[in-house]
């Protein structure tokens, strides 16, 4: 297990190094001068020269890459050109909204999907299964911005249980923050829960057909005992894969929901900085997202090994 | 009162009749073998004895276990019965165990599920005792082992340990050794027999292998298409079998073919000092990767017109050698030539040589694309030819190949699912024959077939030897089949050829201890032909 973890960790570091090189190459080294791109067509030569100096564009490419990576390692992500504030602060503020939102949505989707998948699988072909599968079909099909607007209409405007948008901030207390994130989290979780429930169901059905489930029944386990003791853990591997993918998506891909609920999240930050051509922010946020995806994959790998002993011994 | 008595059991699954009026019984301490070909209903009979039937099953008749009718019991009392009074061992040891639980936990589960008052620690002690009893001593196979760390035979021992942990009165074994090598099979059969005798258990053995049946059983039940056609005490039944189906089964099991004589011919395939290594995962990060030598310095020659056999147990390198012969993989040492030309040249199979070789695989179900019609399937080897026949020539070639293997030209427009296992294997042979190859490799080509079908395919092979002057390499773990369809045989162990010689002589008088152990372990059909 230690060896396995070490190997996965090594591959994590390698992926990060490669990703940083690619991002740097695409944004900074690609044809065209970042400074003139950021300032647009009609920039004054003096402004351009000043920005070039500020960005350190006169240095060699290698030196620029090293100073960028070195900066990130020491927590210096540079200064936003548009807002004139350190990028690290901006990203941290946004992350305090996006990360809890993603985790909240993921928790909701898992809590709904696991029982739904189990329920459907244990009643394969019966009314319960057909009902759950129909509901998930709908969950996948409904566009989540429309669902978000419906949530606002019902729970914010009619019932007035939640605010229609905005974020109060965590200094108002944990529950106030969670309360504010509830509607967006539900909107985000719906399609994810639908997908996860379907994966859970089909994965369980695969496992139910396995020989060792019959062995378990021959030992005297009831169907339910066999499902819980032998089926569930074996069915988890594909489910874990999907959960890992969903987290990465939720962290960065919630831009539409952030827009609907007017949340100051990472998605909107990327969108705004791309519109403002603030390459420094874009670069940092993209790197951060890549980092989180790679870390999540690493955690998923560890979870695989925890679930399946065959992966532990294979090196 | 019998231990188990199945009375007039009829069973259908979603309206399809599976069993008709099955009556049989197992007494305390008795070994009863149920035999028959696939589709005879023997496995369903075993499952019915445990009431572990698939959804949509309707039964009539009674399954009496120690005086209680199991068909009338509710699920809770059946669960209390399964594993406690009736244990079951399955065919596939590779998949019958939960891969994510230790063997100790799985054996202990049988104990704890039936008696909650047993502590975890006490259950583990009993699990350890049971594992030791089935030949997995704790010093070598501690409870914390996972199934993937064990071989097939060892896993089957774990499955048996799970089944006998509570010393059930009845043990049902459904093809318990079919997936195992002969030497392992002999050990597992001994184990089952000894356990049954020691505990006075009734043992219901389901097997298609008549040699095993004759060797093990006190009583034999022969089934066909859901019906019991004959049953009787073993020695009596072997001497006086009445039903034509029983006679046919035994005759087909010991089926012999007469190969046409061959005269000395020039060498066709020459294998000289061939070794094939597989890379193992690195032990340390930057250390050299280890190697596993799957085929180790193998040399042999197949002469034109010769029928050569290759026998050995799983993992001995048979399949690796087959792939190397076909030029599918690079070998690390030695040369393989067909008619003097290398089978692998540059980085790819040598096409000029490949079109002179064809292969027939084991699995008649997995080796065809289900979306293609038979004509397309059998003409697949044409892509090896520089100018494949088209139009009428192609049709003629297909007709000839299908006719040669005993099918009709009209079958060309059918899909593969319309054929039985035996017919599919005929199609596989037609596919191999269609480009008139100089050498055919049969890789366990009859191992998945029922005995009666196997006998037909072997006859076909003998016929084709006469009409096509076939040269082939017949690879199999089944010694009796190799014995009848080959002139010369190679015995392979751990990547090496340990013995080589004329087939009959090698089987009569094996020189190498490994060959002897293989022949000794293989169950033998009793001489019954005299009594017919």
pLDDT tens per residue across all 532 residues of chain B = 789 999 999 999 888 889 999 999 999 999 999 998 888 888 899 999 999 888 888 999 999 999 899 999 998 999 999 999 999 998 888 889 999 999 999 999 999 999 888 899 999 999 999 999 888 999 889 999 999 888 888 999 999 999 999 999 999 999 888 878 888 888 889 999 998 998 889 999 999 888 888 888 999 999 998 999 999 999 899 888 889 999 998 888 888 888 888 777 889 999 999 999 888 776 666 667 778 888 999 999 999 889 999 998 888 888 889 889 988 888 888 999 998 888 887 777 788 888 889 999 887 777 888 889 999 999 989 988 888 888 899 999 999 999 988 899 989 998 988 888 888 889 999 999 898 888 999 988 888 788 888 888 899 888 888 888 889 999 988 888 899 999 999 999 989 999 999 999 999 999 999 999 999 888 888 766 444 4
Chain B residues touching A229 at Cβ < 8 A: 109
How many angstroms separate the CA of residue B160 from the nearest CA in chain A?
Answer: 11
Ranges of each domain in chain B:
4-97+168-253, 267-279+290-356+438-523, 372-437
Across A247-267, average pLDDT: 82
Do the domains B4-97+168-253 and B267-279+290-356+438-523 sit in the same CATH topology, yes or no?
A: yes
Contact between chains at B281 and A315 (C-beta distance less than 8 A): yes
CATH architecture of B4-97+168-253: 3-Layer(aba) Sandwich (3.40)
How many angstroms separate the CA of residue B514 from the nearest CA in chain A?
Answer: 32
Chain A residues touching B176 at Cβ < 8 A: none
Q: Residue B320: how many CB atoms within 10 A of its CB?
A: 20
Structure tokens that stand for A39 in this block: 């300032």
Tell me: pLDDT of A315 over 50.
no
Q: Which range is most confident: A1-5, A47-51, A116-120, A142-146?
A: A116-120
CA B529 – CA B532 distance, rounded (Å): 5
Residue B505, C-beta contacts closer than 8 angstroms, at least 6 positions apart: none
pLDDT tens-digit series, residues A166-178: 777 778 788 888 8
User: HEC string of B509-531?
Assistant: CCCCHHHHHHHHHCCCCCCCHHH
Please report the pLDDT score of residue B2 as a whole number.
Answer: 87
Contact between chains at B96 and A315 (C-beta distance less than 8 A): no
Mutate to test the interface with A, among B100, B142, B146 (most CBs of A within 10 A): B100
Contact between chains at B148 and A214 (C-beta distance less than 8 A): no
Mutate to test the interface with B, among A215, A313, A315 (most CBs of B within 10 A): A215
How many angstroms separate the CA of residue A221 from the nearest CA in chain B?
Answer: 6
- Cα distances from B96 to residues A145, B157, B163, B291, B462, in angstroms, run 47, 11, 12, 31, 38
CA B93 – CA B72 distance, rounded (Å): 31
In chain A, which residue's Cα lies nearest the Cα of B80? A220
Please report the pLDDT score of residue A52 as a whole number.
Answer: 77
> Does A216 touch chain B if contact means CB atoms closer than 8 Å?
yes
CATH class of B267-279+290-356+438-523: alpha beta
Contact between chains at A219 and B281 (C-beta distance less than 8 A): no
pLDDT tens-digit series, residues A13-22: 999 999 999 9
How many angstroms separate the CA of residue B421 from the nearest CA in chain A?
Answer: 23
A46 within some domain: no
Structure tokens that stand for B199 in this block: 């505990």
Q: What is the mean pLDDT of chain A?
A: 85
In chain A, which residue's Cα lies nearest the Cα of B163? A219
> Does A237 touch chain B if contact means CB atoms closer than 8 Å?
no
Judging by beta carbons within 10 Å of its beta carbon (0-12, 13-18, 19+), is residue B304 exposed, middle or buried? Answer: middle
Structure tokens that stand for B209 in this block: 């292998």
Contact between chains at A212 and B99 (C-beta distance less than 8 A): yes
Please report the pLDDT score of residue B9 as a whole number.
Answer: 93
Please report the pLDDT score of residue B528 as a whole number.
Answer: 60
In chain B, which residue's Cα lies nearest the Cα of A10? B285
Please report the pLDDT score of residue B532 as a whole number.
Answer: 41
A74 within some domain: no
Residue from A205, A188, A106, A206 nearest A151 by CA? A188
Chain B residues touching A212 at Cβ < 8 A: 95-99
A224 within some domain: yes
> Does B206 touch chain A if contact means CB atoms closer than 8 Å?
no
Q: Is B478 helix (H, G, I), strand (E, B) or coil?
A: coil
In chain A, which residue's Cα lies nearest the Cα of B168? A219
Nearest to B83 among A219, A230, A309 (CB): A219
Residue B53, C-beta contacts closer than 8 angstroms, at least 6 positions apart: B11, B13, B44, B47, B59
In chain A, which residue's Cα lies nearest the Cα of B148? A310
Structure tokens that stand for B440 in this block: 């055919």
CA A270 – CA A55 distance, rounded (Å): 19
Question: Complex ipTM, two decimals?
Answer: 0.81
Domain around A171: 95-313
Mutate to test the interface with B, among A213, A219, A232, A310 (most CBs of B within 10 A): A219
More confident residue, A120 or A4: A120
Give chain A's domain count: 1
Confidence of residue A75 (pLDDT cuts 50, 70, 90): confident
Instruction: Tell me the sheet residues that pair with B89.
Output: B173
> Does A217 touch chain B if contact means CB atoms closer than 8 Å?
yes
How many angstroms separate the CA of residue B498 from the nearest CA in chain A?
Answer: 32
Q: Which residue has the tokens 């001497």?
A: B239
Starting at the earlier edge strand, list the strands of the sheet with B341-342.
Answer: B291-303, B267-279, B333-338, B341-342
Tell me: pLDDT of A191 over 80.
yes
> For residues A60-87, b (16+ Cβ closer than 10 Å) or e, as one string?
eeeebbeebbeebeeeebbbbbeeeeeb
Tell me: pLDDT of A1 over 90.
no
> Does B85 touch chain A if contact means CB atoms closer than 8 Å?
no
Nearest to B95 among A210, A217, A310 (CB): A210
> Does A211 touch chain B if contact means CB atoms closer than 8 Å?
yes
A123 within some domain: yes
- What CATH number is given to the structural domain containing A182? 1.10.3720.10
Nearest to A219 among B82, B146, B281 (CB): B82
Mutate to test the interface with B, among A208, A220, A228 (most CBs of B within 10 A): A220
Chain B residues touching A219 at Cβ < 8 A: 82-83, 109-110, 113, 162
């Amino acid at each position: 297990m230690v060896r396995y973890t070490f190997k996965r960790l090594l591959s994590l570091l390698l992926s990060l190094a490669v990703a940083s090189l690619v991002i740097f190459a695409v944004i900074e080294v690609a044809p065209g001068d970042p400074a003139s791109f950021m300032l647009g067509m009609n920039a004054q030569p003096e402004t351009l020269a000043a920005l070039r100096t500020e960005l350190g564009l006169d240095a060699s490419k290698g030196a620029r890459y090293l100073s960028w990576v070195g900066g990130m390692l020491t927590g210096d992500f540079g200064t936003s050109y548009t807002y004139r504030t350190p990028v690290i602060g901006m990203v941290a503020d946004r992350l305090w909204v996006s990360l809890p939102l993603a985790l909240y949505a993921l928790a909701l989707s898992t809590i709904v999907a696991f029982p739904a998948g189990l329920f459907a699988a244990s009643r394969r072909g019966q009314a319960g299964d057909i009902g759950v599968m129909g509901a998930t079909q709908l969950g996948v099909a409904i566009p989540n911005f429309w669902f978000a607007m419906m949530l606002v209409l019902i729970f914010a405007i009619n019932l007035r249980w939640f605010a229609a948008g905005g974020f109060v901030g965590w200094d108002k207390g944990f529950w106030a923050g969670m309360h504010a994130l509830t509607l967006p989290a539900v909107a985000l979780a719906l399609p994810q829960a639908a997908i996860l429930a379907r994966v859970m169901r089909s994965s369980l059905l695969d496992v139910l057909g396995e020989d060792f489930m019959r062995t378990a029944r021959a030992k005297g386990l009831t169907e339910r005992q066999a499902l819980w003791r032998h089926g569930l853990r074996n069915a988890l591997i594909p489910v874990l894969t999907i959960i890992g993918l969903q987290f990465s998506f939720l962290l960065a891909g919630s831009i539409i929901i952030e827009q609907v609920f007017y949340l100051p999240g990472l998605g909107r930050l990327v969108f705004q900085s791309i519109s403002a051509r603030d390459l420094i922010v874009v670069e940092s946020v993209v790197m951060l997202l890549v980092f989180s995806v790679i870390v999540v994959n690493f955690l998923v790998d560890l979870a695989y090994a925890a679930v399946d002993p065959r992966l532990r011994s294979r090196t | 009162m019998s231990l188990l008595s199945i009375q007039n059991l009829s069973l259908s699954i979603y309206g399809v009749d599976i069993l008709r009026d099955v009556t049989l019984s197992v007494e305390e301490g008795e070994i009863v073998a149920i035999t028959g070909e696939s589709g005879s209903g023997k496995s369903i009979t075993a499952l019915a004895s445990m009431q572990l039937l698939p959804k949509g099953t309707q039964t009539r008749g009674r399954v009496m276990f120690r005086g209680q009718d199991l068909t009338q019991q509710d699920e809770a009392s059946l669960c209390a019965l399964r594993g406690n009074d009736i244990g079951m061992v399955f065919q596939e040891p590779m998949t019958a165990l939960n891969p994510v639980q230790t063997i100790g936990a799985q054996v202990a589960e049988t104990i704890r599920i039936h008696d909650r008052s047993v502590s975890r620690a006490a259950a583990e002690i009993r699990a350890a005792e049971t594992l030791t009893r089935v030949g997995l001593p704790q010093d070598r196979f501690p409870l914390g082992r996972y199934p993937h760390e064990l071989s097939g035979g060892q896993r089957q021992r774990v499955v048996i340990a799970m089944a006998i942990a509570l010393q059930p009165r009845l043990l049902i074994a459904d093809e318990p050794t079919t997936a195992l090598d002969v030497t392992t099979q002999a050990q597992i059969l001994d184990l089952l027999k000894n356990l049954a005798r020691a505990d006075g258990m009734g043992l219901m053995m389901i097997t298609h292998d008549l040699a095993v049946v004759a060797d093990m059983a006190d009583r034999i039940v022969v089934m066909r298409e859901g019906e019991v056609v004959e049953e009787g005490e073993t020695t009596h039944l072997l001497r006086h079998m009445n039903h034509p189906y029983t006679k046919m089964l035994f005759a087909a099991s010991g089926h012999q073919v007469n190969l046409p004589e061959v005269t000395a011919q020039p060498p066709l395939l020459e294998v000289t000092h061939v070794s094939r290594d597989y890379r193992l995962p690195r032990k340390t990060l930057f250390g050299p990767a280890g190697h596993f030598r799957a085929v180790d310095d193998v040399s042999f020659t197949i002469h034109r017109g010769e029928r050569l056999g290759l026998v050995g147990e799983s993992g001995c390198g048979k399949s690796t050698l087959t792939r190397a012969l076909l030029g599918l993989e690079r070998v690390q040492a030695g040369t393989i030539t067909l008619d003097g030309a290398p089978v692998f040249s540059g980085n790819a199979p040598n096409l000029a040589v490949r079109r002179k070789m064809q292969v027939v695989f084991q699995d008649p179900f997995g080796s065809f694309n289900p979306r293609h019609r038979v004509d397309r399937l059998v003409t697949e080897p044409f892509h090896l030819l520089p100018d494949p026949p088209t139009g009428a020539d192609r049709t003629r070639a297909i007709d000839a190949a299908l006719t040669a293997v005993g099918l009709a030209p009209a079958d060309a427009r059918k899909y593969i699912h319309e054929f039985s296992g035996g017919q599919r294997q005929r199609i596989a042979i037609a596919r191999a024959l269609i480009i008139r190859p100089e050498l055919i490799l049969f890789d366990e080509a009859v191992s998945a077939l029922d005995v009666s079908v196997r006998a037909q395919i072997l006859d076909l092979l003998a016929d084709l030897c006469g009409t096509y002057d076939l040269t082939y390499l017949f690879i199999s773990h089944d010694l009796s089949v190799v014995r009848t369809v080959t002139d010369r045989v190679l015995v392979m162990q751990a990547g090496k050829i340990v013995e080589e010689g004329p087939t009959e002589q090698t089987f009569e008088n094996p020189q190498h201890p490994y060959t002897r152990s293989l022949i000794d372990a293989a169950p033998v059909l009793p001489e019954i032909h005299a009594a017919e």
